[in-house]
Structure 1
Amino acid sequence: EAVAINGTEHFSVASHHWSCSAAPIRDADGTIIGVIDISCMADQRHPFMLGMASTVAYAIEREIQVQQKRKEMELISHCLQQVEADEPYVVCNEKKQIVLASKPIRDRFSDWYGMDVELLMDDTFVTRDKQIIQSEQDGKMLGMSFSFEEAAKSNITVSFAQFPGESGTSTVFQQTLSKIKRAAQTDANVYIWGETGTGKELAARAIHLASERHEGPFIAVNCGAIPESLLESELFGYAEGAFTGAKRHGAKGKFEQAQKGTLFLDEIGEIPYAMQVALLRVIEERKVVPLGGTHEIPLDIRIITATHRNMNELLKEDKIREDLYYRLHVYPINIPPLRERKEDIVDLYRYYQKKHQWNAAFPESFFRKLEAYHWPGNIRELFNLFEHIRVLFPKGGWIGESQYAAVLEAMDQKKQKLHLPEYTENPKELTLRERIQKQTVIDALHKTKGHVSEAARSAGVP
């Protein structure tokens, strides 16, 4: 938001002689693309400076919107003839948002305008032709057009018949499933990210089972759980006599064990920076040399990686090498947290019930209470709750509210602890600098989900 900081209100002592008024500039979808700042010596500040900065920012935003509309109109005028055809056809802007669609698309998707074109490239359609559209005035790219054709339904059933989980009904997870299905049809490196407990390994296993490599091994490695000193021998293997305590005939590493199959590297961001160089070489060359060995072993594997954080954040924090990032971040898939797909809780319960052959039935109010909870531990926490109730009632049957109330009461207490009411202080008791420091610490704790040492590093405080 627009803000004015005067003199000693500045955090930095070096800026105490300045008065600064600034306002953000946003594009049409609300993304901040710049800031207008007016600065002068503190004793020369004017009361209208903040208003001037806000007015200029607003004028720039309006001009950007006008330019975007002009580009959109030029883009649409290029493709009016093609869109009249009875074939699936869309035109999208530079951000891959649909701005024009043919009748088959409009009939099938009521919210087609502004939709990401990637959402169409699932089971429903396959791309037949793609063209870049350039402006006649300056030759710059205006957008793209896509011609589609219906995907063969029979192929979909064969390629994704073995999904090892519950697909649910939520829109957000159906989009994720579509991405998983597309990934399974190729051999590209896939990167999966999502909060702890969302089912990243399950998604990786689904890609493996639905791919052409499904008859090969699926080797999962938690990179954060292996000590740094053992990581190289664990991944690449070692030759006989490579180090003290090595097995007599050496040992195969995880890369070699995954031959003709899929290697799943979970928490890839935990791999030490120096080790990433060796990992990059193996990924690029598809050859591995065991520790203490001299001969290269060719690899025929698919690599899927995962982290609980977006890899873009790891790149900004220098926790992952840029060259390794581009090798692994080929096809990213986000697994949504359970709080964004609460309508799937009933389906997840049925899956748990079937898996454990537990014949238990609950009233509708039970699932309503589950949907009211925020699930910081995601599906893992949900299944732990079911496990808790199953221990109490192993034979199942009808479980009424009076029977499961104690279990949910413990969950409610946990919810209250995680969401304590904010303590409202008198603003006069804290200086502006202290309030900024306090907010920085709170934001850092929220960002790291309460991990204190990570929050301290993020906020730059001891």
Structure 2
Amino acid sequence: MSANGMIKEDPMSSREKLNRELQTGQLSQIAANSWRRCLQLNVDPSRHVRADIGSLELQKRIEAHDDLVKVATPTMENIYNFVNNAGFQVVLSDSHGYLLKVLGERTAPCPSRLAQLYPGANWNESLRGTNAIGTCLVEKKPLKIHAAEHFFEDNRTLTCSAAPIFSAEGELLAVLNLSGDHRYANDLTLGMVVAGANAIENQLQLHRVNTKLYASYKYSDTIIQSMSEGLVIVDPNGRITKMNQVGARLLGASARDSIGIHISELFGEEAPVLDLLRTGIGYENKEVCLGGGQRTFYCSATLLHDDYGQMIGAVSVLRPNKGGKRLRGLIPVQQARYSFDEMIGNSEAMKKTRKIAEMAARSLSTVLIQGESGTGKELIAQGIHNASSRHSGPFVAVNCAAITETLLESELFGYEEGSFTGAKKGGQPGKVEIANGGTLFLDEIGDMPLQMQVKLLRMLQERCICRVGSTEEVAIDIRIIAATHQNLKQAVQEGTFRKDLYYRLNVLPINMPSLRERMEDLPALSEFMVKNLSERFGKGPIGISSLFLRGCRAYDWPGNIRELENVIERAMNMVEPGGKLTAEMLELDPVALSPSGEMVEGVRPLKEMEMEMVTRALDISRGNIVHASSLLGISRNTIYRKIKEYDIVI
């Protein structure tokens, strides 16, 4: 008997009683395993071992788990709003069993002072016997401990559900617990804590990623702001997403206020980066003049891609033009980006062209490429340059038809300061000088004025030039590749092109076949273009229906590859992500299929073929619209529209 007159139960009799209860088989497997562990650890069910921590130590633990507590609190509050009327408590413990946060106050018949569910209390299984929190820490899985399954008799008025909370690496961080009066037990409580624990895990992972992203952002921002060069980043639509202070100073703008505005507002409508977004062709050291020439700098830019290869914008690097002097190393140079790998097609005409181009790449002789507009003459020229011994040198392209006769000479040969009104201070090198050590591509050479043809011929013969306004000769080392859509032999006969220049240029002739001469390459060309455009538009893999290709084959393609690119890009704007190009997306100019206007043998009007295909699909599917639309690769709405358009009877 104790000093206060109450009979104290013998620990051995308590253990024997628990052993007998364990033998009845009425406990769940999880609870029974826990009881055995408690008996092995000599946990005394009649004596509470106090292992609570004080307010100072509790505060330290909460601060150590600051992210966990902050992330878990909203979820705990949502759960508590569902169960508070039934007197339940929502509890968060750390991985050692210490309670970090408790929502709700227990009421009779098991007040919290008995259950001891308050912050700072320790509910480790070795101290409190079988209980949802402590047992969950051992089992590391969701569980429920109900009423008499508790090892301590004082806790048998409780029903408790608990679920573990793990880190992304699988480390046990905490336990979420829901405890209440056993008389109000229901099957939903375990599901609630499991869902809550999952939500906390997801939020913790998101919080961690956001923290890393913010740290990475601050790190990269520090690097960007400390750069000696200006930096401007734009999204795929040309809107500014990032600008450092040097870039803002060069552009005469505010870095903060520029975020979100279109790049054209700072660079003008001819902003070089807009061409990059449209064509995907990067550039280096382009000279940019703003404010009437008051601000000049050199600009290089390239596309940005995400981990999946999708284009997400472009980055421009701006280098100040110190002292207003043109630096030889910063002369704007166009780089050749195409190789022979971009020569798509295995037709006999294309094989022959590629063979001659590869031979030209091994030579240093002048090349003349002839072919209709849009056949890819510059692609061949760049391929020759990149496969030649001059591939590390510049590739400079000049469109002779796009420059007026009065400006062509200064554009090609450059000029000295004061040589004409508006000439830049210090003068400017021409395209020929810029191409020194590399390749000069003279596109549309057939449109060059006769007076300029004479000067070009002299350059080819003497291998030197004089800038406009100067008598000093400058030696040059360049390889010439010329191209034209005109028949130069005929132009020579008509007197619009010099015979001697023609022979100087026509050392290694290459004839580019038109698209209608290599129609067997159409599927491969279409697939190549669709793949590139789908990456650029971020639409995922896009298919091509047989009717689309059939319609393409029935067309004459007067604009050749360039027109095909235009047609496919237009169709790509209509197709849904992951979809397929269909005949209805094929928009072609209403031109004759042959010069005479007569039908070519074996070729029929696209509309006639489309009606036939729709009718055939409906016959095969026995009028089943879903099956027929699947066979044709079009939607049900589209096939209904075609049935109505062609007055097809099902």
Give the TM-score of the pair, scaled to structure 2: 0.38
Is the contact made by 1:167 and 1:177 (CA closer than 8 Å) also made in structure 2?
Answer: no
Is the contact made by 1:237 and 1:290 (CA closer than 8 Å) also made in structure 2?
Answer: yes
SS at match of 1:224: coil
Task: Report the residue type matching 2:430 in the other structure.
Answer: G
Aligned partner of 1:329 among 506, 510, 522: 506
Q: Which residue of 1 aligns with 2:588?
A: 411
Task: Report the residue type matching 2:559 in the other structure.
Answer: G
Is the contact made by 1:264 and 1:305 (CA closer than 8 Å) also made in structure 2?
Answer: yes
Q: Which residue of 1 aligns with 2:356?
A: 179
Task: Quote how far apart the aligned CAs of 1:292 are.
Answer: 0.6
Task: Quote how far apart the aligned CAs of 1:229 are.
Answer: 0.6
Aligned partner of 1:384 among 550, 555, 566: 566
Alpha-carbon separation, structure 2, partners of 1:272 and 1:374: 32
Task: Report the residue type matching 1:245 in the other structure.
Answer: G
**What are the superposed Cα offsets for residues 319-367 of structure 1, whole Å, 9 maximum, x if unpaired?**
1111111111111100000000011111111221232225210222321
Q: Which residue of 2 aligns with 1:273?
A: 450
Q: Which residue of 2 aligns with 1:299?
A: 476
Q: Which residue of 2 aligns with 1:214?
A: 391
Q: 1:417 to 1:340 in 2, by over 3 A?
A: closer
Task: Quote how far apart the aligned CAs of 1:310 are.
Answer: 2.5
Task: Quote how far apart the aligned CAs of 1:167 are.
Answer: 2.8
Q: How much identity, in percent, do the aligned residues show?
A: 48
Task: Quote how far apart the aligned CAs of 1:412 are.
Answer: 6.7
Task: Quote how far apart the aligned CAs of 1:394 are.
Answer: 5.5
Task: Quote how far apart the aligned CAs of 1:286 are.
Answer: 0.9
Off by >6 Å, runs of 4+ in structure 1: none
1:197-346 pair list within 5 angstroms: 197-346=374-523
**What are the superposed Cα offsets for residues 155-202 of structure 1, whole Å, 9 maximum, x if unpaired?**
xxxxxx942513311011100000000000000000000000000111
SS at match of 2:433: helix
Is the contact made by 1:198 and 1:338 (CA closer than 8 Å) also made in structure 2?
Answer: yes
Alpha-carbon separation, structure 2, partners of 1:180 and 1:354: 25
**What are the superposed Cα offsets for residues 390-439 of structure 1, whole Å, 9 maximum, x if unpaired?**
1112524234x4xx42x43x4273346976469xxxxxxxxxxxxxxxxx
Alpha-carbon separation, structure 2, partners of 1:192 and 1:363: 34
Task: Report the residue type matching 2:480 in the other structure.
Answer: I
Q: 1:281 to 1:167 in 2, by over 3 A?
A: same
**What are the superposed Cα offsets for residues 93-117 of structure 1, whole Å, 9 maximum, x if unpaired?**
xxxxxxxxxxxxxxxxxxxxxxxxx
Is the contact made by 1:260 and 1:301 (CA closer than 8 Å) also made in structure 2?
Answer: yes
Is the contact made by 1:198 and 1:378 (CA closer than 8 Å) also made in structure 2?
Answer: yes
SS at match of 1:411: coil
349-358 or 252-261, which deviates more: 349-358
Give the TM-score of the pair, scaled to structure 1: 0.53
Q: 1:196 to 1:316 in 2, by over 3 A?
A: same
Alpha-carbon separation, structure 1, partners of 2:516 and 2:340: 22
Q: 1:280 to 1:420 in 2, by over 3 A?
A: same
Alpha-carbon separation, structure 2, partners of 1:217 and 1:355: 26
SS at match of 1:245: coil
SS at match of 2:440: strand
Task: Report the residue type matching 1:258 in the other structure.
Answer: A
RMSD (Å), alpha carbons: 2.0
Alpha-carbon separation, structure 2, partners of 1:236 and 1:168: 38
Is the contact made by 1:217 and 1:262 (CA closer than 8 Å) also made in structure 2?
Answer: yes
**What are the superposed Cα offsets for residues 266-286 of structure 1, whole Å, 9 maximum, x if unpaired?**
111111112211111111111
Gaps of 5+ in 1: 1-160, 423-462
Q: Which residue of 2 aligns with 1:367?
A: 549
**What are the superposed Cα offsets for residues 54-107 of structure 1, whole Å, 9 maximum, x if unpaired?**
xxxxxxxxxxxxxxxxxxxxxxxxxxxxxxxxxxxxxxxxxxxxxxxxxxxxxx
Aligned partner of 2:530 among 346, 353, 365: 353
SS at match of 2:561: helix
Task: Quote how far apart the aligned CAs of 1:294 are.
Answer: 2.2
**What are the superposed Cα offsets for residues 7-58 of structure 1, whole Å, 9 maximum, x if unpaired?**
xxxxxxxxxxxxxxxxxxxxxxxxxxxxxxxxxxxxxxxxxxxxxxxxxxxx
Q: Which residue of 2 aligns with 1:114?
A: none
1:138-217 pair list within 5 angstroms: 162-217=339-394
